[in-house]
Amino acid sequence: MIYLYAITDRPEAALPALPGLEGAPLISLTYRDVAAVASLGTAPGVSTKLSSLEAVNIWQHEAIVEALMSDRTVLPVRFGTVLADEAALHSILKAQYAGFIADLEWVYSRVELSVQVLWDSDGQTPTDGSAKDINCQRSEVSGRAYMLARLTEEQQAQACRQQAETLASGIRLPLERLAVENTHQVLVTPRLLLKAAYLVDRERMAIFREEINNLSLAYPTLRFLCTGPWPPYNFVSNRETNLLGDNDD
């Protein structure tokens, strides 16, 4: 069994001196100009390790990916990806080669930065419950009253959402200018105004951090969380394997 950490460029580069899952050494499989970094595992061992989701496993995986990122370009693989054997891995590298090369080019010398913004709820998020309260005394209350309460609730929620979008776009604009790609979501939860990820040139990280500080001064009622640099998890393309009948070499 092969446990997979990342796809990288510079296949000739030496592997980091870190142990893989189950203490197994890291191995590298090369296909033309890309390498897959993995480690060998035993079936019960890997399953147990992975299924007991512990920070130490997560961090072990991440530390390997980040060590690789220090001296080469990396496409991080989602945690928990297990292949049967090296032949399977080779098939994937071969089948997806063009996509991997394109992704590696896109993220070359770039890092992912995470930004999340909290919107303090006092008076800014709609109270959900006025209609439910009515429902609790439903024997005395008319259907009409219920519907009108629901209507007010919905209208308030709409207004709130509108406000959130406007506020979020004010924040997003200066950040997007500093990035080459981004993902974002507004109001993932009522208090989480913005949840975003930015693909940024490494040299622009300092300016990006400065911009975050500027924004937190400009919006004193909001709370900003910025973490990173991360490997570009949000900026690689997802792939379907097509291993059936692809074992010809």
Query: Which residues within the stretch 121-150 sit at the binding site for another protein (CB under 8 A)?
Result: 132, 135, 138, 141-148, 150
Chain centroid offset of residue 91 CA: 26
What lies within 8 Å, CB to CB, of 162 at 6+ separation is none
Q: How far is the CB of 154 from another protein (least distance, A)?
A: 6
Say whether 51 sits in a helix, a strand or coil.
helix
Residue 204 binding another protein, by CB under 8 A: no
d(CA 11, CA 174): 37
Shortest CB 109 distance to another protein, Å: 19
For residues 158 to 197, the per-residue mask of contacts with another protein, x marking binding by CB under 8 A and - elsewhere, is: ---------------------------x--xx-xx--x--
Shortest reach from residue 15's CB to another protein, in Å: 18
C-alpha atoms less than 13 angstroms from C-alpha of 171 in its C-beta half-sphere: 33
**116 binds another protein per the rule CB under 8 A:** yes
Please state, in angstroms and rounded to a whole number, the distance separating the CA atoms of residues 95 and 239.
10
Asked if residue 105 binds another protein (CB under 8 A), the reply is no
Tokens of 49: 């390790």
In the complex with another protein, the residue whose CB is nearer, 17 or 55, is 55
